[in-house]
Amino acid sequence: MYMNFNRKVALVTGAAVGIGRACALKFAESGADVILVDRDAEKLEGVKNELSAFGHRVLAFACDIRREEEVEDVVKSALKELGKIDILVNNAAIWRSFHPFVETTTQEWQTMFDINVNGTMYFTRAVLPGMVEQKWGRIINIASVAGVYGNGNMVTYSATKGAVIAMTKALAKEVADKGVTINAVSPGSVSPSDVADPDHTQPSELCYMNRTGSDNENAGLICYLASQEAAYLSGQNIQIDGCRRKI
Ligand SMILES: NC(=O)c1ccc[n+]([C@@H]2O[C@H](COP(=O)([O-])OP(=O)(O)OC[C@H]3O[C@@H](n4cnc5c(N)ncnc54)[C@H](O)[C@@H]3O)[C@@H](O)[C@H]2O)c1
């Protein structure tokens, strides 16, 4: 069967809505045990209930990924309960802040780096040794086209996603001969993440396809990168942007 995740354990951050939720659903549908992480405990519980329909094990952890100790506790508890983590999707981030660069406060800069970059680093550092030991692992970091081209009025966000892409490429080289692949996925415009239908799209002038990408389209790419079939693909940043027009 194509993209079979039977006996695999996948951890997805930012799993309460949007791309993270769609991804968690796809993993569970394809046989994986899933660890859901988000700071929104209530929405996370709803996703946990949705996933339980597939009959595999599901754990949900309310966690603020910028808190190093919380991240380490989540990984310890998950390993205790499920024995291993094969797949890590670093998806949680904040991005809804639009203003000229000179209006950037140090606190905003710090917070965005704490979540988008440090949170990704904490989870990766906590999970990677187990992957190396078992000689199999997949890490998928959700970046953005903003990290490739740079979005005006989103300088801080663009900088965090650029950092995530560089981190992905560098770390992939360290573990390429250890059975662990690390890739980044850079969405263009995605439909609003609070719409429950993961196939929802809407018109967009930002790409030649003239529409946003759906959560499921993004989740499909992420799951492919997490699969056995993608074993020879590492250190890449793959844009999923409907053929971006404005950069
Ligand atoms: N939506 C887009 O148009 C778009 C475009 C490019 C890239 N992306 C990236 O895709 C990813 C998912 O975005 P989305 O729009 O699907 O979801 P979103 O931004 O609406 O939600 C992200 C989830 O992350 C969680 N989160 C935020 N900060 C957290 C923290 N400190 N600790 C724990 N959880 C936290 C939120 O509670 C939320 O459930 C993000 O990395 C985002 O930067 C999104």
pLDDT at residue 3 in the model: 85
Domain count, the chain: 1
pLDDT at residue 141 in the model: 99
Closest CA to 68 of 11, 114, 106, 137: 114
In a domain, 179, yes or no: yes
Instruction: Identify the sign of the CA torsion 64, 65, 70, 71.
Output: positive
Please tell me whether the overall predicted TM-score, pTM, comes out greater than 0.95 for this model. Answer: yes
Residue 50 confidence class, pLDDT cut points 50, 70, 90: very high
In a domain, 38, yes or no: yes
Task: Give the domain extent around 53.
Answer: 9-240
Q: Give the position, in ligand 1's atom list, of the atom nearest the Cα of 215.
A: 16
In a domain, 1, yes or no: no
Tell which one of 48, 61, 68, 91 to mutate to probe ligand 1, the residue whose CB is within 8 A of the most ligand atoms: 91
Among residues 157, 208, 224, 232, which one is catalytic?
157
In a domain, 103, yes or no: yes
List, for residues 97-114, the tens digit of each pLDDT value: 999 999 999 999 999 999
List, for residues 67-82, the tens digit of each pLDDT value: 999 999 999 999 999 9
CATH of the domain at 39: 3.40.50.720
* 1, 228 Cβ separation under 8 angstroms: no
157 noted as active-site residue: yes
In a domain, 15, yes or no: yes
In a domain, 2, yes or no: no
In a domain, 34, yes or no: yes
